[in-house]
Amino acid sequence: MLTMRKYQHIDLNYLNDLSLGSKDFMQDLITSFIKTTPDSIAKMQDCIGKQDWQQIGGIAHKLKTSFSFMGMENMVKVSKVLQDLGLNNKGLDKIPALVEEVVKEYPLAEAELKEELLQLK
């Protein structure tokens, strides 16, 4: 097992466990995450304009798992709330602010993930 560095927005210990000690797998997963997550976040922003709350809930549901792999604890909590509100059509007025929180925090986590990718190479 690798000893993981400490970061402010991510914690890669869980990903390290899932990778079963494979640096290549960690790199692959982080790269895939960085490649796909911005599109999902952009889709959520689009959905606010369309008031498609169900879709926001669905995307948040999927992101929640990815965020948990990267140890983005706050994002896991936010996406869980977004999932519950969106899918149950409740507290819809809170959704835009929560999506905004994801939009603001994601780049900080991404920067740390890119730093980790350099370490892994």
Partner 1 sequence: MANTLIYLCDDDELYLKTAVHNLNQNKGLTIKTFTNGEALLSALNKKPDIVILDYFLNSEKPDAMSGIKVLQEIKQIAPDVEVLMLSGQEDVDVAVNSVKYGAVDYIVKNKSAFIRVQNDIKRIMKGKEKDKENAGFKKMILISAIFILFVIIFLIIYYFDKTVFGLLPDPAAPVQEIKPEELPLSQ
The binding site for partner 1 (CB under 8 A) comprises 14, 17-20, 22, 25, 28-29, 32-33, 36, 40, 43, 54-55, 58-59, 61-62, 64-66, 69, 83
Q: How far is the CB of 28 from partner 1 (least distance, A)?
A: 7
Vertex 45, ends 89 and 73: CA angle to 5°? 80
CA distance 31 to 49: 29
Vertex 114, ends 78 and 116: CA angle to 5°? 95
Vertex 115, ends 27 and 64: CA angle to 5°? 65
Which of 7, 60 has the CB closer to partner 1? Answer: 60
What 3-state DSSP class applies to 21?
Answer: coil
What is the residue type of 98?
L
Query: Residues 34, 36, 42, 44: what is their CA dihedral angle, to the nearest 10 degrees?
Result: -120
